[in-house]
Amino acid sequence: EDQVTQSPEALRLQEGESSSLNCSYTVSGLRGLFWYRQDPGKGPEFLFTLYSAGEEKEKERLKATLTKKESFLHITAPKPEDSATYLCAVQAGYGGSQGNLIFGKGTKLSVKP
Amino acid sequence: DGGITQSPKYLFRKEGQNVTLSCEQNLNHDAMYWYRQDPGQGLRLIYYSQIVNDFQKGDIAEGYSVSREKKESFPLTVTSAQKNPTAFYLCASSLYDNYGYTFGSGTRLTVV
């Protein structure tokens, strides 16, 4: 069964304290792994797509990496405006959920000034 | 600007009533999706449509219905058969052969 597990469920950081969020997955032929940011009461906002192990992508203070079993979202020197829930999703290449995104439950990040 | 518009932002429904949530996109995307989001749970797929006049059930389709008469529109009806409809509903779209979704801003449905 295709599955996505994110950890930790919640993470509290001080401003400037770097850390990482984890996304572990099992999927029938990974077609893509996606990271989204979601603010309270709003729809998810696209951050990154990763397609193959070893791939990395960066955007401002965020860097996403991918292995064959998991992905990390590294946050360097976070600011309070980085506070949000970060969602990870995978897209299966074949099987019952082929083509559709399967989401994890998210990591709620709080950055205190 | 291209995007997805969901309306209304907040919706209140009495028990036993059907209610329809609107989703419109001007991105020229082929595929559209409806997800439900509950506290502490991931997004769960309700229905999806890859082309006009065709749609498939997702993981939690019971108590919901959809239509896809136009490429731009994918309304979701929450019927009285849905036992626990209070939730945050998200609509999304994607190019058929593209990877990743664009989401709307969501509709929060509350049963009173």
Beta strands (DSSP E) in chain A are 3-7, 10-14, 19-26, 30-38, 45-50, 56-59, 62-66, 70-75, 84-92, 101-103, 107-112
Contact status of B2 with chain A (Cβ, < 8 Å): no
**Lookup: tokens for A83:** 């506070």
Contact status of A39 with chain B (Cβ, < 8 Å): no
Q: Say what the pLDDT of residue B104 is.
A: 97
Q: A100 vs B100: CB contact, 8 Å cut-off?
A: no
For residue B99, give the nearest of A42, A91, A104 by CB distance: A91
Q: Say what the pLDDT of residue B26 is.
A: 96
Q: Say what the pLDDT of residue A93 is.
A: 75
Q: A31 vs B99: CB contact, 8 Å cut-off?
A: yes
Contact status of B42 with chain A (Cβ, < 8 Å): yes
Instruction: Report chain A residues whose CB lies below 8 A from the CB of B40.
Output: 105
Q: Say what the pLDDT of residue B41 is.
A: 86
The whole-angstrom distance between B2's CA and the closest CA on chain A is 14
Beta strands (DSSP E) in chain B are 4-7, 10-13, 19-25, 31-37, 44-51, 54-57, 64-66, 76-78, 87-94, 102-103, 107-111
Residues with pLDDT less than 50, chain A: none
User: Model confidence over B35-58: pLDDT tens digits?
Assistant: 999 988 889 999 999 999 999 999
**Residue A50 burial by CB count (10 A; 0-12/13-18/19+): exposed, middle or buried?**
buried
Contact status of A85 with chain B (Cβ, < 8 Å): no
Averaged over B9-35, what is the pLDDT? Answer: 94
Amino acid at A107: T
Averaged over B6-26, what is the pLDDT? Answer: 95
Contact status of A94 with chain B (Cβ, < 8 Å): no
Between CA A107 and CA A109 the distance in angstroms is 6
Between CA A73 and CA A70 the distance in angstroms is 10
